[in-house]
Structure 1
């Protein structure tokens, strides 16, 4: 990711506009964040009533939906569950339509969708979290319980704050630099350990060496106080805006904001325009062996 211009702002793009050129995919795959400042996701009156952290089950970070089976987590009230399911299903359709319009090459390859509604103020939630779960600390995304074996983590975010408050991110160094900084001495996963985690259902399947290294990178970044204090690019995502990035590649931290929708999908490396820009390819070059 270019340190000088980590965010590409697309102020004039609208849904159903002429499909963008391949240069947009190129910027995304290089690690840029694509910002659509005027592309909001509107809530109806019934959905607006959900914008209260009190609705979220105690100890839960967010309300989440797996759209393919309709399974909802994080909210118990029956009436609120119905409204939350409706809202998250709408956002899933909005996000998938947006991704398929923007990135024609990815059509048919986006899988394992998860849709989330984040209601807590970032400071209030993070103060109750361990350092590993504190999203105010610079990190790349990796899944502890859901090994992905090199697939990309592609995310769509929308700021739905009703009071006009922006969501503020800090954006860090490019992915390869971070790998060289934190993983030069890191070996692969212990096969017995990964087998045991899968047998005990702590992970949904066995972790690959790729998953192991990505989790180590995530943890080492968050634990490094020097990194957290280094200068970083700061960007405010305004209320009523939407942004997209590969969150397994763009080093980011959330320093302010409340009320956000988030869509996560996985993309196979083979579906990328340039697979050599994937974290998997970068790590395999640095390690000199296959990792997934």
Structure 2
């Protein structure tokens, strides 16, 4: 089954429809059409040209100090961009509180990013090529027993949609790719953490997800012929998904905001729907 795209009205899901949490945990992409996030006259310059130094594919804020990284412009403009990202972070938290209240107090908001560049113009290695279908995994930042929840918004001022494609459900993909993956080495995981190559010890789950990410991106036959569907997100739309569960590729568009959040697996409505538990079931044992 290809990941469903579920449109959400301002007042939530329709009567009799699955709850938004249930839909999300089952691999849907939730699309919100009526969430307001206006720009001030000063902020409109950030969608007229990229305010980025070009050294990375996005500009972001991280940490308690919300330090801005990768931006360009005058000090005044950079501070305004920083404040815009702080405001988007609050917007994302508000969306969770209104539409996914079961997660309120359980999610931890992480990095917030401004993505002004055209997807198709980025010249990246295959591993960093996000036009290829993939699930999210972070090489230096092991996730362990957490989920990756992401809130995106198209802020393009000229009507250009954000183009995605989504793939088949995680379980079906895992059945195809798990037999190809190398075994997990706890010793190697400890060494990477000791050398501070990773911020914490990679679990077996982290190991599997990194290799699934790479195996998917390297398999060009699967990229071209695997189950998939094209999706367009119009300017002003906000979409939310578990990006560690939903295979996705960004195919086009420029000017987007993104918020990453982490949710403990045990805080899900149904932890058995997590990729952690799905992979364990496929292997017939607990992950190390």
Q: Same fold (TM over 0.5)?
A: yes
Q: 1:195 to 1:120 in 2, by over 3 A?
A: same
Equivalent pairs, count: 286
RMSD value, Cα = 2.2
1:1-292 counterparts in 2 under 5 A?
2-3=1-2, 6-10=4-8, 12-13=9-10, 23-51=19-47, 54-66=50-62, 68-77=64-73, 78-125=75-122, 128-230=123-225, 232-291=228-287
Shift of 1:24: 1.3
- The answer to whether the 8 Å contact 1:168/1:254 transfers is yes
Shift of 1:149: 0.2
Q: TM-score, normalised by structure 2?
A: 0.93
Shift of 1:54: 4.5
- The answer to whether the 8 Å contact 1:149/1:208 transfers is yes
Shift of 1:191: 2.3
Deviations 1:27-64 (A, max 9, x none): 10000000112334222122121235552123211111
Shift of 1:275: 0.5
Shift of 1:85: 1.0
Q: TM-score, normalised by structure 1?
A: 0.91
Q: 1:282 to 1:29 in 2, by over 3 A?
A: same
Shift of 1:100: 1.5
Unaligned runs of 5+ in 1: none
Unaligned runs of 5+ in 2: none
Q: Secondary structure of the equivalent of 2:22? A: helix
* More displaced stretch, 183-192 vs 280-289: 183-192
Shift of 1:185: 4.2
Runs of 4+ in 1 over 3 A off after TM superposition: 17-22
Supply the distance in 2 between the matched residues of 1:55 and 1:19 (Cα, whole angstroms): 43
Q: 1:95 to 1:143 in 2, by over 3 A?
A: same
